[in-house]
Structure 1
């Protein structure tokens, strides 16, 4: 089960006990914000893309949308989201619980600049009813990310 992979991953920093398992679904930004009682933009959504036959995860603020021109400038290709049926197989978590913790080997993870405006954010934890509140520096520490990128729009207009 993916939440157990996340729990094991976060145990390296002794923070697995901070995972919140919710009564309600947190599968979308809106549902997660409602269940957690926070602003939707503070949900750190993880978006799955196919780049050069490999999986790429972009972690962005809940109110950010992928900017196709920025994405192409960074990755050299058009933004193509993974098909729903490929997400769990390629990322290691199913749609609704995708997060940057405990992902499959070879998944390239990037953090989007849209997150930097918050003190804390709420990424999912491998299931459609889980989340953890982390600071930006904790997100950096717990995530094997490659780099910060600017591939989103709609959040700083």
Structure 2
């Protein structure tokens, strides 16, 4: 099971005991926020895409949506999510437990700017009923991300004049 891979991943870092497991599902932003008793925006959702043949993960705040124009500007292609039935084989985690830890070797990971608003966030930990609370520097360190991106909408305060 993928949660076991994530626990093994965190073991040398002495972080495996920080993984939270729930008796209820945390497979969606809404369910995770309910299980964790936190705001939905603090759930670090991990979305899986293909850029050509390259699988990528983008970790975003729970209150965001992908902005297609920003995505196309950054990646040079239209946003194409990995079909649900292919996610586990391509990424290494099934939908509901996709996270930026212990993924398949060829997967590139990006963190969205929407996460920087928070002191801590809660990404999944490989199963549809798990999460781990991490600071942003810890998320950077443990996710082995490539870079920060700005490809989401719906989270920024509107400009006021």
| Aligned alpha-carbon RMSD (Å) | 0.6
Distance 2:74 2:147 in 1: 11
- Deviation, 1:139, is 0.4
1:41-52 matches, within 5 Å, as 41-52=41-52
1:78-157 matches, within 5 Å, as 78-157=78-157
Q: How does the TM-score come out when normalised to structure 2?
A: 0.96
Deviation per residue, 1:29-69 (Å, 9 max, x gap) = 00000000000000000000011112110000000100000
Q: How does the TM-score come out when normalised to structure 1?
A: 0.99
Match of 2:35 in 1: 35
Return structure 1 stretches of 4+ with deviation > 4 angstroms: none
Match of 1:20 in 2: 20
Q: Which structure has the larger Rg over C-alpha atoms?
A: 2
Distance 2:64 2:13 in 1: 29
SS of the equivalent of 2:138 reads helix
